[in-house]
Every structure is written in structure tokens, then in C-alpha cells.
């Protein structure tokens, strides 16, 4: 039973901290995920910024140390070999890193650290890396210049087996995890063939313009503009502000239908009409107006037949044939997705509902521990144990 959530979060971050070759990072979970992951590390840095900005900076610096020549930041860094771990070792064509990326939360994390310690030297140190990374996404991931960022593999979304990717993967809404993994590994083999060259891989094999990835991009570009401004680089600041606006406009144009944003795929930008928690991510980026948010919240978030379960917010709507309460990204509640929804609701002044989500997230941890994900109907803890980004509950404030 959790007594004091804040000290438990601090303790969790402490036990999962690792040092290798002069770099420091936090692993997502000792038994299951003993490496470094991109968006996990951004979440870890946000949590650490509350009580240890120096560790938060170290976490970011180790991520940036493996940036590729073209600007991409890998989604995984294998700092050490762990033979006993069940996590599959995929052949990415590089020795110690993967060659795909993950949702670009780095500018957000760096800005949050700056808000805590007001150290401009860290902004200065990291800015060239940020510039290179976000420019890579803007250029390489948008080959048609439509202002929507593409992913070339479902794992780049951070939601590996989400039903949003069934259609582009050629899978039915109901299938086994083995079938899903087989299809995704097949895609990695194709990615290897196209040498992970994003425009080429996307055009030929898998090209999803995903709602959360783009919403996260918008929120991060706005903060990147603030970082540039802080560094007195007005030109970059207005460039990144404009890019954020362009993506917001394109999201409305290509993704929005009847009040819901859907991810799109392929050259034709076809909508993937599956309701997942992704429909709430435009709140995080402040792309909707208040009236639109009100409708979305009452029709979907607070609807017991859609997302308002006993332990909200399920990652897939109950009304979807793909919904599976214990199916990884096909139903369970995750703390990071709750955190995004919480922040989005606060952006629009829906503080009471946000508070309910905070309390429910905390009660999940109190009931089942810092587990990777939870059954949204029973609260049962599932997946990895001592999962670090559970600490995000202390950033819901
Ligand atoms: C799983 C999650 C992904 C996360 C990784 C490490 O693959 O789907 O989002 O980054 O584990 O925690």
C-alpha cells in the first residue's frame, strides 16, 4: 500500500537509476525494460525536475548523446547487454541503438527543467540538438509538405499494438498478440530493406500520420520557440511557431471529422476511424476551441459506453470491437496517457474532471503498485513492475 505518493515516486526513480560509461539514465522497469527509451526518459526528466534537476539534465544528455547524423534521436539505447531479459533484441542495423524514433517530448522536458532551475546554460547546450531533431521531423517525415509528421512503424508512436495501426498493418480488429508482433516484425524487416530511410520506407511500407505524435509535435514546437526566444534567437522562434501553427491547421484539415481527430494513413491521407485515447490529445496541443472540447468531453470522455470506466481512461474506447481490457494498448489505462489527458483538460479549465483523473491514477497505483498498465474496469495491475513513468502522477498538479 502506498503511503506517501511523492516519496514513493522519488524512491522509484532512485531504484531505477543507472550509470554506464559516464552516462546516467533511468530504465523503465528492471525486469522487463532495462535499456533507455526516448519518451520514457522525457517523462522521467519531467518527474525528476521536481526534486532533482541535475538528474533530469543527465537523463536528457544521455539521450542526446546518441543522436544520429541526420538529426533523428533513437527510441532505444542499449547501454548494456542484458542476456536474461525477455525483451526481444531487434536487428536495427546499428550496434547499440534502434533506428526508429518516438514521440518528440524532449523540448517539453527541457523547458520544464528550465522552469524549475532557470539555468539558461542547459538550454544553450541542448538547443543545437533540439534544432536538428525537430528539423529532421519537419523535413524527413513530411515528404509531401502537407505539414503532418509521419511515422514509419507503429512502435514510433509509443503505442506498439494500438488498434489505430490495424488497418495499415492489414490486421482485423480482433487478432492475437502473436499475429500483431509477427506483422510488426515483418515491417521491421522491410524497414531494414529500405535502410530506415523515412520517406522511402513510409511511401512503400507504412505511413501513418498519427494524432498523438502530431499533437505532441505541436506542443513541443511551441516550447521550442520559447527556448529559441530565451536564447534571443527570434528568427528560429518565429519559424518554430509557424511550424506549430501549420501542423495545427493541417490536423484540422486532414484529421478532423464530426468533432473527432483520426490518424490518417498512406498517400491518400485516409482516416483510420478507431476511437482511442488519441482523440483527447489535441487538448494537450490546444488545437480545439472550448466549445469543441466541451462536446468531446461529454460525448466521449465522460460517456460510460466509451471512455468513462471505473478506472479511466482506457486507451481504446469500450465501443470499439478491438477493445480488450488487458490487451496492452488495446484497452488498459496507462499513467502517461492519463497525464496527457490531465494536462489537456487543465489547458481548457476542466479542472474537476482533471482532478478525477489524477485521483483515479493515484488510486490505481495505491491499489496495484507502479505497474506498466491497468485493467480499466477492475484496476488490476498488468505488465512490467516498478514501471518508472508511473511517477508522472506527481506531475499532475
Ligand atoms: C513499451 C511501450 C513504449 C515504451 C516502452 C518502454 O514498448 O509500448 O511506449 O516506451 O515499453 O517503457
Angle at the Cα of 189 (from 263 to 387), degrees rounded to 5? 60
What are the backbone dihedrals phi and psi of residue 23, each rounded to the nearest 5 degrees, phi first?
-105, 150
* Separation between Cα atoms, residue 384 and residue 386, nearest integer Å: 7
| Cis geometry, peptide bond prior to residue 362 (ω within 30 degrees of 0) | no
What are the backbone dihedrals phi and psi of residue 171, each rounded to the nearest 5 degrees, phi first?
-110, 155
All residue ranges of the chain with pLDDT < 70 are 1-3, 83-88
- Cα(217) to ligand 1 centroid in Å equals 19
The CB density around residue 180, as the number of other CB atoms within 10 Å, is 23
Q: Which pLDDT score, from 0 to 100, does residue 208 have?
A: 98
Q: Which pLDDT score, from 0 to 100, does residue 91 have?
A: 79
CB of residue 59 inside a 6 A radius of ligand 1: no
3 state DSSP class of 67: coil
Q: Which pLDDT score, from 0 to 100, does residue 86 have?
A: 63
Q: Which three cell numbers stand for residue 32?
A: 522487463
Q: Which pLDDT score, from 0 to 100, does residue 163 have?
A: 98
CB of residue 39 inside a 6 A radius of ligand 1: yes
Q: Which pLDDT score, from 0 to 100, does residue 92 have?
A: 83
Closest C-alpha residue for ligand 1 atom 12: 28
- Cα(331) to ligand 1 centroid in Å equals 15
Q: What is the mean pLDDT of the chain?
A: 96
Using the structure block, give the residue that is written with the C-alpha cell 503511503. 3
Q: Which pLDDT score, from 0 to 100, does residue 1 have?
A: 45
Q: Which pLDDT score, from 0 to 100, does residue 94 have?
A: 83
* C-beta separation of 349 from 329 below 8 A: no
Q: Which of 34, 37, 385 to mutate to test the pocket of ligand 1 (most atoms within 8 A of CB)?
A: 37
- Cα(256) to ligand 1 centroid in Å equals 27
Amino acid at each position: 500500500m502506498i503511503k506517501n505518493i511523492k516519496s514513493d515516486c522519488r524512491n522509484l526513480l532512485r531504484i531505477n537509476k543507472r550509470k554506464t560509461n559516464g552516462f546516467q539514465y533511468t530504465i523503465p522497469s528492471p525486469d522487463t525494460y532495462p535499456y533507455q527509451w526516448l519518451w520514457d526518459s522525457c517523462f522521467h526528466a519531467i518527474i525528476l525536475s521536481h526534486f532533482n534537476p541535475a538528474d533530469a539534465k543527465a537523463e536528457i544528455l544521455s539521450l542526446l548523446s546518441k543522436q544520429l547524423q541526420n538529426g533523428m534521436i533513437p527510441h532505444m539505447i542499449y547501454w548494456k547487454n542484458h542476456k536474461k531479459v525477455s525483451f526481444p533484441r531487434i536487428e536495427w542495423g546499428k550496434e547499440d541503438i534502434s533506428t526508429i524514433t518516438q514521440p518528440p517530448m524532449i523540448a517539453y522536458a527541457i523547458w520544464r527543467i528550465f522552469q524549475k532551475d532557470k539555468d539558461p546554460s542547459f538550454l544553450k547546450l541542448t538547443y543545437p540538438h533540439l534544432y536538428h531533431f525537430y528539423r529532421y521531423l519537419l523535413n524527413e517525415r513530411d515528404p509531401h509538405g502537407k505539414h503532418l509528421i509521419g511515422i514509419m512503424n507503429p512502435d514510433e508512436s509509443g503505442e506498439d499494438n494500438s488498434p489505430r495501426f490495424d488497418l495499415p498493418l492489414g490486421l482485423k480488429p480482433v487478432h492475437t498478440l502473436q499475429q500483431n508482433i509477427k506483422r510488426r516484425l515483418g515491417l521491421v524487416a522491410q524497414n531494414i530493406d529500405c535502410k530506415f530511410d523515412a520517406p522511402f520506407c513510409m511511401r512503400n511500407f507504412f505511413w501513418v500520420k498519427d494524432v498523438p505524435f502530431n499533437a505532441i509535435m505541436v506542443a513541443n514546437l511551441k516550447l521550442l520557440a520559447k527556448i529559441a526566444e530565451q536564447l534571443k534567437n527570434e528568427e528560429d522562434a518565429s519559424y518554430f511557431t509557424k511550424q506549430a501553427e501549420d501542423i495545427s491547421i493541417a490536423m484540422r484539415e486532414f484529421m478532423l471529422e464530426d468533432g473527432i481527430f483520426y490518424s490518417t494513413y498512406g498517400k491518400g491521407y485516409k482516416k483510420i476511424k478507431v476511437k482511442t485515447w488519441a482523440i483527447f490529445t489535441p487538448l494537450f496541443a490546444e488545437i480545439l476551441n472550448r466549445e469543441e472540447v466541451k462536446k468531446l468531453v461529454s460525448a466521449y470522455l465522460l460517456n460510460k459506453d466509451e471512455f468513462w470506466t471505473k478506472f479511466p481512461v482506457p486507451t481504446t474506447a469500450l465501443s470499439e470491437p478491438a477493445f480488450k481490457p488487458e490487451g496492452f494498448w488495446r484497452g488498459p489505462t496507462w499513467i502517461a496517457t492519463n497525464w496527457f489527458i490531465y494536462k489537456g483538460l487543465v489547458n481548457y479549465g476542466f479542472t474537476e474532471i482533471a482532478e478525477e483523473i489524477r485521483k483515479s491514477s493515484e488510486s490505481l497505483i495505491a491499489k496495484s503498485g507502479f505497474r506498466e498498465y491497468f485493467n480499466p474496469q477492475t484496476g488490476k495491475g498488468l505488465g512490467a513492475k516498478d514501471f518508472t513513468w508511473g511517477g508522472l502522477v506527481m506531475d499532475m498538479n
